[in-house]
Every structure is written in structure tokens, then in C-alpha cells.
């Protein structure tokens, strides 16, 4: 039996949660920290954040709602300039 490969394109929109329902600050072990001098304002961090807690993306500046961030590190992984590092909460 031969298998065929199927290419599926997934949307790049974040999965949003209703802010106020799932505060996570009490149990996070790590949180994202911006290195402003490296940030080019591309917005990849906000696009791929599964909790949609990153907003107001500009060169050298982003807003992160740490009360709702689960500390997964996806934002740091997708940043092409390595402008976000995960630090101990």
C-alpha cells in the first residue's frame, strides 16, 4: 500500500482566550523578557502566542500581559532576532 503526502496550510492566527478567566501568574516558572535593542518589531511573537497576550508591537517595544502568560516560550522560539528570552519568574 502506498501512502501519499498531503500538504495542509494552517492559519497563522492566534488562539485567543477570554482575558480574566485564566490568570497564570501564580504558577509560572518562567516569563518572557524583551531585549529591546534586538527587537525589529516584526510581530511574530504576537502572531504565534497561543494565549494572545502580546500586543502593541513596535520596534524595540512590545506589551506582554504577564498575568495571563503561561510561560510556554513560543514567543522566544519564533523571534528571528532572539529579542525575547525566558527568565525565571
pLDDT tens string 6-28: 776 766 655 555 554 567 766 78
Residue-level pLDDT at 89? 83
Residue-level pLDDT at 24? 73
Domains of the chain: 30-88 (3.30.70.20)
Q: Tell me the per-residue pLDDT of 37-85, one tens digit each, with 9 for 90 and over.
A: 999 999 999 999 998 999 999 999 999 999 889 999 999 999 999 999 9
Hey, which bits of the chain come out as E strands? 30-34, 54-58, 61-64, 84-88
Amino acid at each position: 500500500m502506498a501512502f501519499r503526502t498531503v500538504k495542509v496550510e494552517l492559519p497563522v492566527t492566534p488562539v485567543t482566550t477570554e482575558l480574566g478567566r485564566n490568570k497564570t501568574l501564580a504558577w509560572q516558572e518562567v516569563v518572557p523578557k524583551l531585549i529591546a535593542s534586538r527587537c525589529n518589531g516584526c510581530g511574530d511573537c504576537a502572531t504565534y502566542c497561543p494565549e494572545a497576550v502580546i500586543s502593541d508591537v513596535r520596534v524595540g517595544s512590545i506589551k506582554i500581559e504577564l498575568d495571563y502568560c503561561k510561560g510556554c516560550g513560543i514567543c522566544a522560539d519564533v523571534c528571528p532576532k532572539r529579542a525575547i528570552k525566558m527568565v525565571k519568574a
